[in-house]
Chains A and B, each alone.
Chain A
Amino acid sequence: MANAEISSAELDNIIDPPALVQGKGDLATITETVSRVAEHKPPKAWYIGFTLALGILGMLGLAIVYLISTGVGVWGNNQPVAWGWPIVNFVFWVGIGHAGTLISAVLYLFRQGWRTGINRFSEAMTIFAVICAGLFPAIHVGRIWVIYWVFPVPNQMAMWPQFRSPLLWDVFAVSTYFTVSLLFWYMGLVPDLATLRDRSKTKIRRLMYGIFALGWTGANRQWHRYERAYLLLAALATPLVLSVHSVVSFDFATSQLPGWHTTIFPPYFVAGAIFSGFAMVVTLAVPARALFGLRDLITLRHLELMNKVIMATGMLVGYAYAMEFFMAWYSGNKYEGFTFVNRAFGPYAWAYWIMVSCNVISPQIFWFKKARRSIPIMFVVSIFVNIGMWFERFVITVTSLNRDFLPSSWNYFSPTIIDWATLIGSFGLFFTLFLLFCRYLPQVAIAEVKGQTPHAHGHSAH
């Protein structure tokens, strides 16, 4: 039958695994599945995790108090590696944040319906990751009480910030990024908070959710402007997310240091950020969907698609590694050449090869559909990628710096116990915030998921 037309649902069976929402999937079930988490006592694992995270956060607090009261000398930063772990951790965390914006804004513009299962969650991750990231430049300035000098506000020295410095661009980029992410996240939350408000049994819950739901009733004239504003914010967040990691890369690339100064840095950093961020989403989503009973909303298909993005961006990062190496030779600049040989075979070769094997080699397993759909494999690979991407920033920062132009100042960088405490502690901060979010806010965008179900689309002509 030449004219046999097949429905798009059947077609999806051929080209893609089916349905974004599994189980019963009617509107009430979606509401119930998501709201239940915020309305009932969490599972025991949550309490254990939260206590643990809180403990690690406490350690971060102690480390920071010690740091500020003593000075940045408590870190391993020293000549020639004056930019040590703080910048590594900063870039790492900012990078993690990028996936959230990518999922919520870029995939929205590309009409990727599957984003609805994971976008709330990853946007929350973005915000908490940016908080963790912002911590490091703030505490590394030494005199944190005059941190307001980085903003263009009149100060007692009658001086203005130096706008030709990429570090200042960072201030603007990261704070804009945080603001816009927060607006975007909160805007998405409003209709869902209204749902929680309308379901709430106690007065206090009704009041709290009610205040933050802003009186949302779901009127269509409001939905109309809401959707347009959502689209506009997505369109604004997309170039923003590109700019943020580009600006972070400028911190390095505007210098003349071999290994830092290369023109591919901006897109390369952006690709790396998305790569690491998606890995973190998988790392978080795998336990969360099991723990909170969200398997029907964050399905294997979501995870598989994310794994594909991980593989693709992993290869973009690999492309950048290759281009850097080629140009280091092609440029004929012997310092550039030396830096790259030193990276691969010098004292930090171990870090370099950890980076390559985690970032370029380990995601290759996702060529196999079986691996893309296997929970244990994807969990392990996502952890590998997280580690690999941390090491990428370590390799860029430390291997480029530790071999100065002056061989007499060559040195080997070693972190101190405080370096470790701040890095691990930042995870405590991240998970504390994240677990609080899981407990009190809808982890999945209820209204948006509903919009992706067949129930949201009319069937008759009008």
Chain B
Amino acid sequence: MHTPEVVREPILATDTAARVSRVGLSVGVLGLLLALALGVSEGDGMRHFFWAYLVAFAYVFTLTLGGMFFVLIQHISGAKWSVTVRRLGEFAMNTVPLLIVMALPFLYPLFTHTGVDEYGGLLWPWIHPHGEHAELVNHKSPFLNTPFFIGRMVFYFAVWMVISRFFMKRSLAQDTDRDPSYPHTVKMRKISAPSIIAFALTLSFAAFDWLMSTDPVWFSTIFGVYIFAGCVLAIHSWIVLCSVFLQKRGYLKDMVNAEHYHDLGKFMLAFTIFWAYIAFSQFMLIWYANIPEETGWFQHRITPAWKGWSYALILTNFAVPFFGILSRHVKRNKTALAFWAAYILIVHFIDLYWIVMPSMDAHHNPFGFMDVCLVVGLFGFFVWAFARQATKNSVLAYGDPKLQDCVAHVNY
């Protein structure tokens, strides 16, 4: 039952990648400009723009961090099945510099006084504590204050830069350097353990800082895990989409087969369930205990404006994809799986929008063209940064020692 020896040579998708990156860049620029124009014209001092920008930013951030987790977990577990698609995860992980640039606009709401009188500020309400919760927010000010917030942000980015650079460099170096003792794999495996600890802590606190603090009164210890579930779901879907796309264009033909899609699909299913598990745990415990400072967050999400969105989430993000990917046949059929991957990437946005926006306005759902422009735009930039790497580097980690095992592996 031996599969033929794999051919270890780079797979360069230069032209395709260049085209895709150009499309991504133009979509990004166009989306951002359109959104800016709409934001300026809305007349709320860009408040809606910045909140929607935060959602779009979170979308890209979960993809990047999802990529980082994907790479780290493959190394720490010494996984074989994922070798042929791991480079895609590495590309996603390596878009941290883009993330840093994308975070710069947040400095404006952090330092401006625009809109303080009307809405208490443009973005995170704790920047200018006001209203009935000011006292509670002031209690948190040792943590939630602008200098420390920026300091933490810089720290997260620094950690992620170090991790992503290290694993990207080593993985690329291994492609050309064929040392039979595979020092890079051994080294990456060693470093992956401490990296994943740093990853867990930075991701959790980044989720607290950027997303949970949009409602500074509310708190939930599981929140970091909730965002993590979204990261993992998004990255597996993204890898499926990229891989199917590349295969359509004639790359990775012998490298990714039904077995790999089956595995990716299993993770999509597993994390759809995991997401539901975490979301249910968070909701049910708060609903059950019914303590005012916690229920407020959900109260804001069952107002007439948001009720439909909240209930829809159960269907769109759990029931539909669960039954969609449950079958073995779907997971092994790349067209079907690609459909579900695209679907999950769309509903992932629904989830993030639901997390952030009701905190801006519980009684009005502002969803509109600008929100779409922003998320498509920032996603376009992500695609650009992602694909640009593929113009220079092989889309296959062809120097990985487990490549042969990966291609030959079969599911139960």
Contacts and interface: CB of A to CB of B under 8 A. Distances in A.
B248 interface: no
A14 B186 contact: yes
A238 to B, nearest CB: 8
A267 B278 contact: yes
B311 interface: no
B132 interface: no
Interface in A1-32: 1-6, 8, 11, 14-16
A263 B220 contact: yes
Contacts of A331: 219, 293
A324 interface: yes
A263 B222 contact: yes
Nearest to A8: B405
A242 interface: yes
B78 A458 contact: no
Given A319-B200, A330-B143, A332-B140, A242 B289 contact: no
B225 A267 contact: yes
16 contacts: A6-B180, A14-B181, A253-B289, A254-B284, A254-B285, A254-B288, A254-B289, A263-B221, A263-B281, A263-B282, A267-B225, A324-B221, A331-B219, A333-B293, A458-B1, A461-B1
Interface of B: 1-2, 5, 8, 77-78, 81, 136, 139-140, 143, 178, 180-182, 185-186, 189, 193, 197, 200-201, 204, 208, 219-225, 266, 273, 277-278, 281-282, 284-286, 288-291, 293, 401-402, 404-405, 412
A457 interface: yes
B2 A6 contact: no
Nearest to A255: B289
Given A263-B285, A327-B221, A246 B277 contact: yes
Given A5-B404, A246-B281, A267-B281, A15 B186 contact: yes
A330 B140 contact: yes
A34 B335 CA distance: 47
A319 B202 CA distance: 12
A330 B142 CA distance: 10
A262 B277 contact: no
Interface string A241-256: 0100010001001111
A321 to B, nearest CB: 11
Contact of A15 (B200, B204, B220, B401): B401
Interface string A216-232: 00000000000100010
Given A8-B405, A323-B204, A253 B285 contact: yes
Given A15-B401, A242-B277, A5 B5 contact: yes
A459 interface: yes
Given A5-B5, A267-B278, A459-B1, A261 B291 contact: yes
Given A261-B291, A264-B225, A16 B78 contact: yes
Interface of A: 1-6, 8, 11, 14-16, 109-111, 227, 231, 239, 242, 246, 250, 253-256, 261-267, 315, 319-320, 323-324, 327, 330-333, 367, 457-462
Contact of A327 (B78, B81, B186, B219): B219
B411 to A, nearest CB: 8
Contacts of B291: 256, 261
A330 B178 contact: no
Q: B2, B136, B221, B222 — which one has the most chain A CB atoms within 10 A of its CB? A: B221
B1 A264 contact: no
Given A254-B284, A261-B291, 9 more contacts: A2-B8, A2-B178, A14-B181, A15-B189, A250-B285, A254-B285, A263-B220, A265-B285, A458-B1
A404 B282 CA distance: 25
A3 B180 CA distance: 10
Contacts of B402: 8, 11
Given A15-B185, A459-B1, A461-B2, A323 B288 contact: no
B320 to A, nearest CB: 18
A246 B276 CA distance: 13
B139 A332 contact: yes
B267 to A, nearest CB: 11
Nearest to B269: A235
Nearest to B185: A15
Contact of B1 (A110, A227, A462): A462
B1 A332 contact: no
Contacts of A253: 285, 289
Nearest to A264: B221
Contacts of B282: 263
Contact of B289 (A227, A246, A261, A458): A261
Given A246-B277, A261-B291, A462-B1, A15 B405 contact: no
- The winner among B136, B178, B412 for most chain A CB atoms within 10 A is B412
A56 B289 CA distance: 41
A264 B282 CA distance: 8
Contacts of A15: 78, 182, 185-186, 189, 401
A266 B1 contact: no
Closest 9 CB pairs of A and B: A264-B221, A263-B222, A254-B288, A266-B281, A264-B222, A332-B139, A263-B220, A323-B221, A331-B219
A266 B288 CA distance: 14
A231 B182 CA distance: 34
Contacts of B221: 262-264, 320, 323-324, 327
A332 B291 CA distance: 13
Contacts of A109: 266
A1 B178 CA distance: 8
Contacts of B404: 5, 8
Residue of A254, A264, A327 with most partner-chain B CB within 10 A: A264
A263 B282 CA distance: 5
Contacts of B143: 330
Quick one: which of A11, A109, A327 has the most chain B CB within 10 A?
A11
B401 A14 contact: yes
Contacts of A266: 222, 277-278, 281, 285
Contacts of B401: 6, 11, 14-15
Given A262-B221, A267-B278, A227 B182 contact: no
A370 B401 CA distance: 25
A109 B2 CA distance: 23
A457 B402 CA distance: 19
Best-surrounded residue of B136, B186, B284 (most CB of chain A within 10 A): B284
Contacts of B273: 239
B75 to A, nearest CB: 10
A261 B285 contact: yes
Nearest to B223: A263
A298 to B, nearest CB: 20
A265 B288 CA distance: 14
A367 B194 CA distance: 10
Contacts of B281: 246, 263, 265-267
